[in-house]
Amino acid sequence: MEFEKNHLFFGGRNGATIHEGTRVIHTVWPYLAVMLLAAGLFPAVERRFGWRMFDVLPPIVLTYLLVTALAVSGLWQVNEEIKAAQSMLVTHLVPALLFLLMINCDLRAIWRLGPRVLGVFACTSISLFVAFVGTYLLYRRWLPGDDWHPLAALSGSWVGGTANMIAVKQAIGMSDQHLAMSLLTDALCYSMWVVVLFAVARAAPAFNRWTRAKSSGDLVVEDTRSTVPATYDSVLLWLGMALLVAALASWAAGALPTSSMVSGTTWAILLATGAGLVVAHTPLARFPGAGTISSAMLISVVAVLASQSNFQGIAAAPLYLLCGVTIIAIHAVLLVGFAKLFRFDLYLCGISSLAHIGGVAATPVLAASYSRALVPVGILLALLGYILGTGYGLVVASVLSKLAGA
C-alpha cells in the first residue's frame, strides 16, 4: 500500500496528525500517553542498567530535557484543549503529591532525635537561608526582574526536594523556562556536593577534635518507614484519597484571604501538606503504596511542566550554576562555624547538609558510609526537610522579592 510522500494524515478520534513528516498531537489522550511514557523512560533505564550518567543527571532532569525537546519539535499543538489539561493536571496533582509525601513523615520520631540533631538541622537551614540571600545580593545586577524566581524555587528543593521546588514554583507563579534553570542547578551542584561530603569522611577525627565534639556514630534511632510492597488496591485507594484531598484543599483555599505572596494556590498546597501530616499519625500511614505513587506522580508532574516550556533563556544556565556553587560554598563555611560554636561533629553536619540538598534518596547512602547507626537519622532529617521545604522556599521568595523591588 502506497502513501503520498511527506503527507500522512491520521485524523478522527485518534487525535494525531502527521504533516510534512512531523506528527502533531492535538487532543488530550495522545498527549497524556506521551507524558507518561516520557516520565517512565529514564527511571526504567536507570533501574535496568544503572549507568553512571544518572549520578550527574538524575532521571527527573533528563525527563524534563526530553519533554522540553519534544515540545520544541512541535510534537503536540498548544491549543486550548491541551493547555486546559496541562493547567488542570498541575493545579490538582501538586497538592495531591505533597499530601502523599507527608504520609511517611512521623513528627514524633523526628522529635525523638534529640536537641543536638535538631540543632544541626536548624543551623543547616539558617546557613542555607543566609547563603541564598547573600548570593542573590552578590549577583543581583545580573538577575533583573523576576530572575530571582529560580533561586527561590531552588531553596525549596534544597531544604526539601523536587516536589517542594514545584510547589514554590506554582505558588510564586514562576515561568516554566525558569524551572529548567532550577532543575539543572539542583542536579549539577548536588552531584558536586555529594562527592565532597563522601570525600571529607576521613577528616572526621581531626574535625571533631577541632570542634571538641563527640562522634555521633553510636546514635541509635528507629527507622519507622513502611517496607511493605504496594498492591493494586493500595495504589487505587491512595490515589483516590490524594486527589480528593487536593480537590478539598483547592475548595477551602477559595475561602481564605490572599495577598501578593500568598495566593489561592499557596493555600491549597499548605492545606494538602497539613492534611498529609495529620494522616501520617493515623493507622492509615501503615497502609503501603503512598511512596510509590508519589514518586510516579512527581516525575509525571515534571513532564507536564516541561511540555509547556522551551529552550528560551537556556543561555543563563552558567549564571545559575555559579549561583548554586556560591550558595553551597557560603553554606559550608557557615555550617563549619556553627559546628565550632555548638560542638557538632562532622558526621551530623554532613548528613544534615545532604538531607537538605540531596533529600531522602541520597542521605541514607551517605549516612551508611559514615556509620550504619546514622541511616535512620538521615532518613528522618530528609523527611523533616520535606515538611518544611515549601514554607521555607516561600519565605526565601518573600525576602528575594522585597530585595528585587528595592
Examine residue 367 and state whether it is found in any structural domain, yes or no. Answer: yes
d(CA 115, CA 194): 26
Examine residue 241 and state whether it is found in any structural domain, yes or no. Answer: no
Does residue 226 have a pLDDT over 50? yes
Confidence of residue 15 (pLDDT cuts 50, 70, 90): very low
pLDDT digits (tens, 9 = 90+) for 284-333: 888 888 888 988 998 898 888 888 765 555 666 789 999 999 999 999 99
Confidence of residue 187 (pLDDT cuts 50, 70, 90): confident
Examine residue 232 and state whether it is found in any structural domain, yes or no. Answer: no
If you average pLDDT over residues 156-180, what whole number do you get? 89
d(CA 67, CA 322): 25
Total domains, the chain = 1
Does residue 160 have a pLDDT over 80? yes
What are the respective helix, strand and coil percentages of the chain, to the nearest 5?
75, 0, 25
C-alpha cell at 72: 520544541
Examine residue 53 and state whether it is found in any structural domain, yes or no. Answer: no
Examine residue 1 and state whether it is found in any structural domain, yes or no. Answer: no
d(CA 41, CA 320): 27
Confidence of residue 218 (pLDDT cuts 50, 70, 90): low
Examine residue 73 and state whether it is found in any structural domain, yes or no. Answer: no
Domain range holding 174?
Answer: 106-226+260-278+314-405
Examine residue 320 and state whether it is found in any structural domain, yes or no. Answer: yes
pTM: 0.75
Please give the DSSP secondary-structure letter assigned to residue 84: H
Examine residue 74 and state whether it is found in any structural domain, yes or no. Answer: no
C-alpha cell at 5: 510522500
With b for 16 or more beta-carbon neighbours within 10 A and e for fewer, the 18-45 pattern comes to: eeeeebebbbbebbbebbeebbbbbbee
Does residue 8 have a pLDDT over 50? no
